[in-house]
Structure 1
Amino acid sequence: MKRRNTPSKQAVLSVITKAGKAMSQDAIEEEIAIDINRATIYRVLNRFCDDGVLHKVMAEDGKQYFALCETYDTKAATHQHFHFKCTKCDTVECLPNQVNFSIPDGYLVESVNCVLTGVCKNCS
């Protein structure tokens, strides 16, 4: 189903694209240039995740971050990569290498959420 391209969607995507890193809903709300309520931002973010535009990163503190997908193909395994959360600047970023792992027979992996925590290259 084709979704409408609304000003809310354009604004949210613009903020994430310009940031070039994963962002929390709160950070997006602070940066957004138009008046959008919190529920609308969250709904837009989740739709983008459903459509394969963004993916969610769950940090160890339980906070959700949203990052652009490399490709807009929901069937591709585009989210099997590590993320890094800096303890100094709270930046969350996607690391470039895919995760390679093996699991016992009979298990089917549907998603991977790997977050490494430490000090990023800009803060060290």
Structure 2
Amino acid sequence: MAKRNTKAKQLILDSLRNSQSAVSQEILQKELGTEVDRATIYRILNSFCDDGIVHKILGDDGKYYFAFCIHCSEKAHQHNHFHFRCLQCGNIECLPNELEIPLPKGYRPVNFNGFISGYCSNCSN
């Protein structure tokens, strides 16, 4: 069964595509105002994660952030990179280098959550 593309899904997808950093459900709620309710945003974001459209990042502040995927699909979600949160401007970004982490024989990774906080190149000057 094909998934229906609703106005709410399209608004959230457009917002994620246009964002320069990862966004939380709260940030999307502020941006979309009353057009989409909180529960719908959260449900759509989780659906987008399952479909390989976005990946979920657990920040050092305990909140989840969502970043648009570039080369992922439902069956091939690859995000072995660090995420960076600027303590001044608050932007959260995916750092470009994918990591290969050697694990003991027999281990198979499913999720990687590497997070760094500090000052981005714009704020550290």
TM bucket (normalised to shorter chain) is over 0.9
Deviation at 1:32, TM superposition (A): 1.7
TM-score, normalised by the number of residues in structure 1: 0.93
Q: Name the counterpart of 1:20.
A: 20
- Alpha-carbon shift at residue 77 of structure 1 (Å): 4.5
Q: Distance in 2 between matches of 1:72 and 1:30?
A: 27
What is the CA–CA distance in structure 2 between the aligned matches of 1:77 and 1:97, rounded to whole Å? 15
Specify which structure has the higher proportion of strand: 1
The percent identity for this pair of structures is 45
Whole-angstrom distance in 1 between the partners of 2:52 and 2:60: 23
- The unaligned stretches of length 5 or more in structure 1 are none
**Secondary structure of 1:17's aligned partner:** helix
Output the TM-score relative to the length of structure 2.
0.92
Cα distance, 1:85 vs structure 2: 0.7
User: How many residue pairs were aligned?
Assistant: 124
- Which residue identity lines up with residue 30 of structure 2 in the other structure? E
Q: 2:114 maps to what in 1?
A: 114
Secondary structure of 2:95 counterpart: strand
Runs of 4+ in 1 over 2 A off after TM superposition: 74-78
Shift of 1:106: 2.0
- In structure 1, what is the Cα distance between the partners aligned to 2:107 and 2:20? 34
